[in-house]
């Protein structure tokens, strides 16, 4: 499925955002911005922006021009061919080093209580691990984490 954000491209010099705009209702449902509670949702257009994640990855998301609410990331094929320099950074998360190996290339939040096992995983401690260390930990400790929640 190809997201319409590239096919409904417009340029509006009055907007201080990227020239890549789309009518919100023309985007696939899961790509539409999730409006913040204070948004009047009067705005009918979304713009394309970059979210720089703490693990070093950049996601491209449609965002509401009124409240800044973001949709889910677009795939690489959906943004291929766009002028990356004209897409604004709408969120820039600090890149923190891996707490295990010290890599400064970016890290991810690791939940010590896996969400697939604990309903209250958000109440347990977390650490910052690089992708490699994070994958190694899960391969050894929770190799079946994509299966259903364990019976209590």
Mean pLDDT of 99-116: 87
SS3 of 29, please? helix
| Residue located via tokens 């970059």 | 50
Task: Determine contact, residues 36/67, Cβ cutoff 8 Å.
Answer: yes
Tell me the pLDDT of the chain averaged across its residues. Answer: 80
Collect all residues with Cβ–Cβ distance below 8 Å to 41 and sequence separation of at least 6: 35, 64, 66
Q: Helix (H) and strand (E) counts for the chain? A: 2, 6
pLDDT tens digits for range 13-26: 333 445 788 888 88
The pLDDT assigned to 11 comes to: 40
Q: Choose among 69, 125, 64, 63: nearest CA to 99.
A: 125
The pLDDT assigned to 115 comes to: 77
pLDDT tens digits for range 116-149: 788 898 899 999 999 899 999 989 988 877 665 5
Q: Rounded to 5 degrees, what are φ and ψ at 131?
A: -55, -45
| Residue located via tokens 């955002």 | 17
The pLDDT assigned to 148 comes to: 54
Count the neighbouring beta carbons within 10 Å of the beta carbon of residue 43: 16
Collect all residues with Cβ–Cβ distance below 8 Å to 38 and sequence separation of at least 6: 67
């Amino acid at each position: 499925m190809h997201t319409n954000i590239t096919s409904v491209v417009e340029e509006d010099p009055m907007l201080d955002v990227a020239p890549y705009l789309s009518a919100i209702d023309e985007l696939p449902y899961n790509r539409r911005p999730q409006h913040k509670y204070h948004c009047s949702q009067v705005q009918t257009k979304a713009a394309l922006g970059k979210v720089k994640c703490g693990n070093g990855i950049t996601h491209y998301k449609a965002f509401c021009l009124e409240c800044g609410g973001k949709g889910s990331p677009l795939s690489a094929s959906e943004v291929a061919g766009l002028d990356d320099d004209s897409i604004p950074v709408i969120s820039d998360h600090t890149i923190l080093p891996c707490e295990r190996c010290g890599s400064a290339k970016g890290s991810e939040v690791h939940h010590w209580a896996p969400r697939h096992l604990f309903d209250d995983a958000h109440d347990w401690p977390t650490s910052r691990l690089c992708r490699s260390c994070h994958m190694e930990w899960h391969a050894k400790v929770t190799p079946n984490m994509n299966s259903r929640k364990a019976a209590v």
